[in-house]
Structure 1
């Protein structure tokens, strides 16, 4: 196995400074934003919906990240050795980001079903089904986060600092999962945008409402791509470099991972804005669905024939 142990203290100090510059505002804004959002979605809303279930779980994931960030900063600055505390914080950290990605993916799928298939939505969607899916995801990711550090046990001296050049195949699973989620989110968002644009051309009196929904969906998609895609691209490159044993590229990629992880972790602060408006979008767009469903029902009764449900919004 190739051993790549080169280091650059100046670059590392710069990365630590960048972490402080990013994480201090993230903690300062993320904690109150998520606290307010959690209060609104848990106690102020009267009706349980699929969106409400997903957003509460998303906030739990974001709050777990905010809890882990101070430890992450401390571990990096103090070269904290691996141990029980490190293992516990790593479990929390390696759970929240994949969970956030998966919940955002579930929200995109839920939106796609609600807009494209309003007739089937009543059977495919329910708060109980959403809660069951989230519970299953939590169980899977907690198990993954528990075993993830085990692959590096005995090889790493310092917490959250991968120095061994052995490829981490457990990370490859996370990387693959992100790109699958990215494809789903992009597909669902693009299809919903196309559907709403058709609806807007046929219903000029609803243009303002639909334009607002289009902006929210577009912003959510951009945030999802900008926050996570750079990190997982570099993680994939790091895995390829570890496999190839190219020591000259290990250190730059290691520092890039730390920097891009800061940007990805900032997503927990942005979620407080994006998904508050996403919830409003769901409520407003749902007002467009009942007339469409009623018209569809009348067409089915009069024509006594079935037509594809994805034509409801066209």
Structure 2
């Protein structure tokens, strides 16, 4: 991400990539801001009737909103280039902590839905469901902040090429990559696919084909597909970039693997907009 004066005097492809980044994140910010602001407003308005599901959804909305609120820094950096300071370290970790908070909360919601559908009678008698949901959400944030603090030096200014990009000749800690890919994605992916598939199968077997159950099948399927589409590319990119060979002139050109990483980061960020589908189905009765 070069500054504007550099871009005016050069035709390097990195300038085009950076400009496209800035332009691509603008609609994500505005759409994400509007839908998440509306969701947070609705959650606050109905706080007296919260269930454990509302707590999970509120946590998802908080994670998405936090990621969205810091996107203007990334947009500004794409056009004007922020200086490499510890603010950049904070922005990088804030972005990814909120992304993984969204991933893990979505996983918790899938498990909760599965347990309710699979064990409906027992679910009615479960006690302290709201307290459990709050504890799970708190655990997610504590875990992610702890991991971020433990690996904070990986994104210190001396390891950064620009505010949002690491030096390509300084790969991330391999343990960090393993945690991101396996704990942060593959494990949640397996859980979400299993729970969603079981929910769909149970509802399809039910002789009651009400519109509500059809809607439930649709939302569970949509959430699973959106999760796979949004988060698979970026974790492939983490692995590819870690093993990609770095040429001597890496500072002058964006490598194909690195461009793929930038695109996949944008795709992952769009999940903040797609989560609004879940909010709609949960809150439509409140509005209507």
Q: Which residue of 2 aligns with 1:161?
A: 165
Range 247-256 or range 87-96, more displaced: 247-256
Give the aligned length: 267
In the alignment, the residues of structure 1 paired with residue 72 and residue 44 of structure 2 have an alpha-carbon distance, to the nearest angstrom, of 26
Unaligned runs of 5+ in 2: 1-9
Residue 33 of structure 2 contacts residue 69 of structure 2 at CA under 8 Å; is this kept in 1? Answer: no
Residues 1:218 and 2:221 aligned together = yes
Distance 1:280 1:124, change over 3 A: farther
- Match for residue 177 of structure 2 among 167, 171, 175: 171
- What is the alpha-carbon distance in structure 2 between the residues aligned to residue 76 and residue 176 of structure 1? 30
- Contact map agreement 1:87 1:149 (CA 8 A) in 2: yes
Q: 1:180 to 1:279 in 2, by over 3 A?
A: farther
Higher relative contact order (CA 8 A, sep 6+): 1
Deviations 1:2-24 (A, max 9, x none): xxxxxx96432332233233211
1:261 counterpart residue number: 265
- Name the SS for the 1:165 alignment partner: coil
Shift of 1:220: 1.0
Asked whether the equivalents of residues 18 and 78 of structure 2 are also in contact (C-alpha less than 8 Å), the reply is yes
**Equivalences for 1:1-314 in 2 at 5 Å?**
10-44=12-46, 46-121=48-123, 122-123=125-126, 126-153=129-156, 154-168=158-172, 169=174, 170-177=176-183, 178-199=185-206, 202-203=207-208, 206-241=209-244, 245=245, 247=247, 251-278=255-282
Give, in angstroms, the shift of residue 77 of structure 1: 3.3
Per-residue deviation, 1:98: 0.4
TM-score norm. by structure 2 comes to 0.84
Using structure 1 for the length normalisation, give the TM-score. 0.78
Match of 2:4?
none
Task: Give the aligned CA root-mean-square deviation in angstroms.
Answer: 2.4
Flag the 1:260–1:252 CA change in 2: closer, same or farther, 3 A. same
Say whether the 8 Å CA contact 1:41–1:56 is kept in structure 2: yes
For residues 109 and 221 of structure 2, the distance between their equivalents in structure 1, rounded to whole angstroms, comes to 14
User: Which one has the largest radius of gyration?
Assistant: 1
**1:113-172 CA distances to partner (integer Å, 9 max, x unpaired)?**
000012332437701100011011111111222343312433324221112334312133
Structure 2 CA distance for aligned equivalents of residues 74 and 214 of structure 1: 40
Q: What displacement does 1:67 show?
A: 1.4
Q: Quick one: distance in 2 between partners of 1:54 and 1:275?
A: 11
Segments of 5+ residues of structure 1 without an aligned counterpart are 1-7, 282-314
User: Aligned partners of 1:124, 1:186: CA distance in 2, in Å?
Assistant: 27
TM-aligned CA distance change 1:233 to 1:226, over 3 Å:
same
CA contact (8 A) 1:228 1:264 kept: yes
Provide closer, same or farther for how the CA distance between residues 21 and 155 of structure 1 changes in structure 2, counting only shifts above 3 A: closer
Aligned-partner SS, 2:159: coil
| Native 8 Å contact 1:15 1:259 kept in 2 | no
Farther off after superposition, 219-228 or 266-275: 266-275
